[in-house]
Amino acid sequence: MAEHRYDPVTGQYTTGHSWDGIEELYTPLPRWWVITLVISFIIAIIYAALYPGWPTTRFAFAGLLGWTSAGQLAEEQAEARSEQAHWRNQIAAKSVSEIEQSDELRTFAITGGRALFNQNCAACHGSGAGGQQGQFPSLIDDDWLWGGKIDDVYQTIAHGIRNEDPESRQSEMPAFAEMLSPEEIAAVAEYVATLSDASKADSRKALPGAEVFANNCAGCHGENGEGMREMGAPRLADQIWLYGDGKDAVARQVAHPRMGMMPAWKPRLGDDAVKMLAVYVHSLGGGEK
Amino acid sequence: MHTQVPTALQTAQTRALRTGTPHAASGKFRLTKTALTSFLLGLYFITPWLRWTRAGESAQAVIVDIPARRFYLFGMEFWPPDLPLLLGLLIFSAATLFFVTAYFGRVWCGFTCPQTVWTDLFFGVDRRIDQRFGRDSALGQAIKSALHMLIAVLTAFTFTGYFIDITHLGGQLATGIAPAAAYVSLGVLTFTTYVFAAHTRENICLHMCPWPRFQSALLDSETLVVTYQSWRGDPRARARVPLRPDLLDIGNDGPPAAHSYLAGSDAYRGDCVDCGRCVSSCPTRIDIRDGLQLGCIGCGLCIDACNTVMDRLDRPHGLIKLGTEMPAEPSMATAKRTRPRILRIKPMMFASVMLVSGSAMAVALANRSNVDASLEHQRQPPFVKMSDGSIRNDYALRFTHRGDDIASVAVTVEGLPGAAVRLSTSDEPSPAFICNRRSLSERVMVTVPMHSAPQGRVPVTVVLTERTTNAPLARLETYFWGPGGAQ
């Protein structure tokens, strides 16, 4: 081992090594730095042992703690659920109208329902529940295809419309293109287009479409176009036209009807979530008492 | 020659310097400091225990309720929107601090800074233990440490008690149901109090605190600071050296006019006998005779110590005194300065900042509204068409109020003929909502008939009034969107 030699020029010691007369100053790494490095090595080894991170061709080492990110998510979700259990249990035990009566439960249901709505319903009905003209009905107006009372809304969300669920809302409007002549369709469309105008209540009776309507449409849509909610037959005597207003739009709908469908949400989200959604939708301004 | 005989201080400096606790001084500065320390500690420790009847229930008079975001100060209640008031208070406090400093030097440091107050408390504890058990007693040291820790824990507990009802805090902490933040606060405050007041002490002032660093920017030549009157004290020597004859007939206010300074004489001494009392009683261990310096916190304990010695020597007080800064080379002219002027530019500027920020804060406090309301148009969709063709716009209303005097609020709309207002939780024809909660959000629905619906966007005002007294609460500017127009 070479000896450290004092170098008077720099005032430091040398390593004592000499190559062709060239010497190196002895400037070791600071002690604290070396200790830190060693500690971080130790931490890295412990970490690698505790957590997953060593893949092989056939399996991956799972780590001594058995930690997974999915497991952590499940844990946190379970924790969140247990924190909500007090409210969730009450929601599960009570009917939707009872939930609405209770100030506390109502607030909880509306808050939870808003989150659920944005995740599950907003894709079709819009984030503000305003629907989409020609596609999906607005949930904030006062026109309801299947009923706007809280129990009706709950039923519709839980079981959906025109799907495989045995309790889903079912109905079908026939395609009148096969039953009526084009002239009759044009006539009934003209008649239907006047239904929402009260000032034409008398004059419309003379229209040629009146008889066609009475024979073919009134059974479901009502004699005066008031609609029938049991059938999901929309009210025609109002200003809200999901598939477009005016003669042409109505004629298209008569000839080749479009009918919405909606999945059943109870199997997907659970009963308490559907209840919260119902309370939320019912609070949006169109809810009927 | 007398200079070869070491003075008391020189003797002390050759040995190890004294340990942490400075010598006790007695006099009017010590009295003032004791009174202020007691008052401030009492204020700190007693305030959280005061009760106040709030909403019919006994509650803590002064408390910061972090989960609810409320600050209660006796009958007053502050909400997050009141934060600008805090800004005003801070500006006012800073200006006051500068103002006082410009006149009296660092009295904040010397008397009221928490570091000073707690350090003084710990010094007091140490002195009593030292008197009782002796400076080197192991038992005494152990008792000291225990008492330091006890005070630190009590300090931390009291601090936490400003955020969680202190009457329940002890039980909550003991049973483990207190919030995690309470334990953290208890731990951190115990640690900082123990370390800062029991161990680092004056080193905080000397090495950590930024405040002394700009004292020279705040002081002027007429600021009253603790000064050693070198015209009178020098040359320093032991008491047996004869006193300068010119000092025999001085008063407290300076040298008499017909007076000559015997500079450079070794045969006589000034009034300073270099006993070192001013140094040993100094909480920051400085020698004030070196002149104004960063380490001087302006507490005046050296003045008390020196005056005691002057009494013993039968000499007038004021060798060290609260005076204007002395120049390095004392002369009769500067020593016999007239009293400092009151009206000086620097403190007056600070005073004007105090006046502006203080009055702005007072006006803001007086005009503080008890109501906080906001209205947000629900733009998705911009409007809703109803069955009868009428057009509805929805708004999210957030409403909070501080007082207990509002029972019911009526919501009406101005600027929109034929508009009807409905609330999602109420079926009443005249829209109103009951404020049984002090903070609520509500969906407000404004409907106009088909034929009076506006084209595009029009500005409207939603007005909130107290329902029984008709007192206006808030006017919220928003808009109403009708069909047609640019969407």
Backbone angles phi, psi at A195, to 5 degrees: -60, -30
The Cα–Cα gap between A153 and A85 comes to 24
pLDDT beyond 50 at B257 = no
Q: How far is CA B404 from CA B56, B78, B400, B454, in A?
A: 11, 15, 11, 39
Task: Identify the pLDDT of residue B439.
Answer: 72
Two tokens, residue B430: 């005249």
Q: Do A141 and B387 touch (CB under 8 A)?
A: yes
Interface test with A, best of B379, B380, B386 (most A CBs within 10 A): B386
Q: How far is CA A116 from CA A120, A163, A273, in A?
A: 6, 21, 7
Q: Do A127 and B380 touch (CB under 8 A)?
A: yes
Residue ranges of chain A whose pLDDT lies below 50: none
Asked if A76-168+262-282 and A176-255 have one fold, the answer is: yes
Task: Name residues whose C-beta falls within 8 Å of residue B329's C-beta, 6 or more positions apart in sequence.
Answer: none
- A242 compared with B437, residue with greater pLDDT: A242
The Cα–Cα gap between B194 and A17 comes to 51
Q: Specify the DSSP element, H or E, that contains A111.
A: helix A103-120
Helix (H, G, I), strand (E, B) or coil at A261: coil
Task: Identify the pLDDT of residue B5.
Answer: 54
- What value does the mean pLDDT take over residues B269-279? 87
Tell whether B398 is within 8 A of chain A (Cβ): no
What ranges do the domains of chain B cover? 2-10+218-335, 27-78+113-200, 371-481
Task: Name residues whose C-beta falls within 8 Å of residue B141's C-beta, 6 or more positions apart in sequence.
Answer: none
Vertex A134 angle, CA A130 and A138, to 5°? 20
pLDDT class for B459, splitting at 50, 70, 90? very high
Residue of B nearest to A122 (CA): B380
Two tokens, residue B316: 């007038």
Task: Identify the pLDDT of residue B26.
Answer: 87
* CATH code for residues A176-255: 1.10.760.10
Tell whether A289 is within 8 A of chain B (Cβ): yes
Task: Identify the pLDDT of residue B327.
Answer: 53
ipTM of the shown complex: 0.76
pLDDT class for B485, splitting at 50, 70, 90? low
Two tokens, residue B213: 């660093």
Task: Identify the pLDDT of residue B436.
Answer: 60
The Cα–Cα gap between B362 and A68 comes to 58
Contacts of B389 in chain A (CB under 8 A): 196, 238-239
In which residue are the tokens 């007076």 written?
B259
Task: Identify the pLDDT of residue A120.
Answer: 95
Task: Name residues whose C-beta falls within 8 Å of residue B32's C-beta, 6 or more positions apart in sequence.
Answer: B111, B300
Q: Distance, in angstroms, between B201 CA and closest chain A CA?
A: 28
pLDDT beyond 50 at B318 = yes
Minimum-distance CB partner of B381 among A128, A143, A239: A128
Q: How far is CA B178 from CA A207, B115, B168, B213, B234, in A?
A: 78, 28, 9, 41, 62
Q: Right CATH number for A76-168+262-282 from 3.40.50.970, 1.10.760.10, 1.10.40.30, 1.10.10.10?
A: 1.10.760.10
Task: Identify the pLDDT of residue B404.
Answer: 65
Task: Name residues whose C-beta falls within 8 Å of residue B433's C-beta, 6 or more positions apart in sequence.
Answer: B408, B409, B411, B423, B425, B426, B440, B442
Helix (H, G, I), strand (E, B) or coil at B485: coil
Among residues A156, A155, A123, A153, which one has the least CA distance to residue A140? A153
Q: Distance, in angstroms, between B386 CA and closest chain A CA?
A: 5
pLDDT beyond 50 at B259 = no
- What value does the mean pLDDT take over residues B398-405? 76
Among residues B407, B382, B420, B409, which one has the least CA distance to residue B463? B409
Tell whether B451 is within 8 A of chain A (Cβ): no
The answer to whether the bond into B179 is cis (omega within 30° of 0) is no
Q: Do A285 and B387 touch (CB under 8 A)?
A: no
pLDDT beyond 50 at B16 = no
pLDDT beyond 70 at B291 = yes
Contacts of A289 in chain B (CB under 8 A): 427
Two tokens, residue A151: 């129990």
DSSP per residue over B110-170, as a string? III-HHHHHHHHHHHHHHHHHHHH-TT-HHHHHHHHHHHHHHHHHHHHHHHTTTTTHHHHH
Task: Identify the pLDDT of residue B328.
Answer: 45
Contacts of B381 in chain A (CB under 8 A): 126, 128, 130-131, 138, 140
Confirm or reject CATH 2.102.10.10 for domain B371-481, answering yes or no: no
pLDDT beyond 80 at B466 = yes
Question: Mean pLDDT, chain B, as a whole number?
Answer: 83
Interface test with A, best of B384, B390, B398 (most A CBs within 10 A): B384
What ranges do the domains of chain A cover? 6-52, 76-168+262-282, 176-255
DSSP per residue over B223-264, as a string? -EEEEE-HHHHPSP--TTSPBPGGGTT--SSS--SS----TT
Among residues B106, B104, B118, B111, which one has the least CA distance to residue B151? B118
Tell whether B424 is within 8 A of chain A (Cβ): yes
Q: How far is CA B109 from CA B21, B99, B450, in A?
A: 18, 14, 73
Tell whether A239 is within 8 A of chain B (Cβ): yes
Task: Identify the pLDDT of residue B234.
Answer: 77
The Cα–Cα gap between A287 and B424 comes to 9
Tell whether B439 is within 8 A of chain A (Cβ): no
Minimum-distance CB partner of B384 among A130, A196, A289: A130
Question: Mean pLDDT, chain A, as a whole number?
Answer: 91
Among residues A112, A259, A76, A235, which one has the least CA distance to residue A172? A259
Percent of chain B whose predicted confidence (pLDDT) is above 70? 86
